[in-house]
Amino acid sequence: MPKAPTTVVTNYLSLIKFSHTIFALPFAIIGFFLAITFTHHAFDARLFVYVLLCMVFARSAAMAFNRFIDRKYDELNERTAVREIPAGVIKPSNALAFVIISCALFIATTYFINRLCFYLSPVALLVILGYSLTKRFTALCHLVLGIGLALAPIGAYLAVTGEFNILPLFFSFAVLFWVSGFDIIYALQDEEFDKSKNLKSIPVWLGKRGALILSSFLHLISASFILYAGYYAHFQMWYWVGTAVFVGMLIYQHSLVKPNDLSKVNIAFATTNGIASVVFAAFVLLNLAVS
């Protein structure tokens, strides 16, 4: 069967791994509707679209910058040599221009949300763009990625209220440790390459077995925040059904990956976490709708 033709749009969607937006976006939606429910703000469709656009622009900037800044390493790594920049599909200068445009659109969108989000937008960009540099000097780079995605629920909450609150922070911390944990699993694939290029990661630092143990511990912390958020907010049955699915997916992904068998890393990384995020968010929203 002939390969489907690619377009400029599909090339850039592939560059930023648009499908992986599914990880943090559901938690941004949770933060948005938590704010509406607990502060009794009216639903504003335009504001909701602005929040979704912020998620898309911020993540697009972060992923494109990661591909741009790592292009030399990607070219040398057999696993990543097929990516758009090392493969010559997208020029580095075009990728950088895409980053700048995405950043500008992100900041411009926050301007139409509220003053606090606008003032904080450069800080958010500093975190999500800065992640790409961290593996050059610290094995804790996975936690920096977690912090970047953890901005989603609290950022969406701030978009509605313009004020901080502890409840969305529980979900932000859950995202921080959840993302950090599964990024460690993903990084197992490049342990030897990273060592050869003096790049830092938890697998390089602790080895495969130690990395998987730490990943499990981080996911235990993430699950604890999910559980405590439900207790703190007095959520009802549907929330706990979603929590059971989320925790079950965490357990399942760790059953797929062994120190001597990384053949199912992509399933553990993408499929199980995508299901965990979407299903959990659906049940949280259902709980908010019926409570």
* Amino acid symbol at 203: P
Name residue, tokens 């701030």. 158
Where in the chain are the domains? 10-290
Residue matched to tokens 């730490």:
214
3-state SS string for the chain: CCCCCCCHHHHHHHHCCHHHHHCCHHHHHHHHHHHHHHHCCCCCHHHHHHHHHHHHHHHHHHHHHHHHHCHHHHHHCCCCCCCCCCCCCCCHHHHHHHHHHHHHHHHHHHHCCCHHHHHHHHHHHHHHHHHHHHCCCCCCHHHHHHHHHHHHHHHHHHHHHCCCCHHHHHHHHHHHHHHHHHHHHHHHHHHHHHHHCCCCCHHHHHHHHHHHHHHHHHHHHHHHHHHHHHHHCCCCHHHHHHHHHHHHHHHHHHHHCECCECCCHHHHHHHHHHHHHHHHHHHHHHHHHHC
Has residue 11 got a pLDDT over 90?
no
Structure tokens at 55: 């998620």
pLDDT digits (tens, 9 = 90+) for 60-74: 999 999 999 999 999
CB count within 10 Å of CB 205 equals 15
Enter the tokens of residue 239.
Answer: 């929330």
pLDDT in tens, 249-280: 999 999 999 999 999 998 888 889 999 999 99
Average pLDDT over residues 229-252: 97
Backbone phi, psi, residue 285, to 5°: -65, -40
Which residue type, as a one-letter code, is found at position 163? E
On whether the CB atoms of residues 239 and 226 are closer than 8 A, the answer is no
Say what the pTM is: 0.94
Mean pLDDT check: name the lowest of 18-27, 132-141, 142-151, 212-221: 18-27
Query: CATH number for the 10-290 domain, one of 2.60.120.10, 1.10.357.140, 1.10.10.10, 1.10.1530.10?
Result: 1.10.357.140
φ, ψ for residue 137, nearest 5 deg: -140, -5
Q: Can you give the pLDDT at residue 4?
A: 47
The token pair that represents 102 in the structure block: 């995405």
Which residue, chain included where needed, has tokens 């030399």?
72
The residue to which tokens 């995020």 are assigned: 277
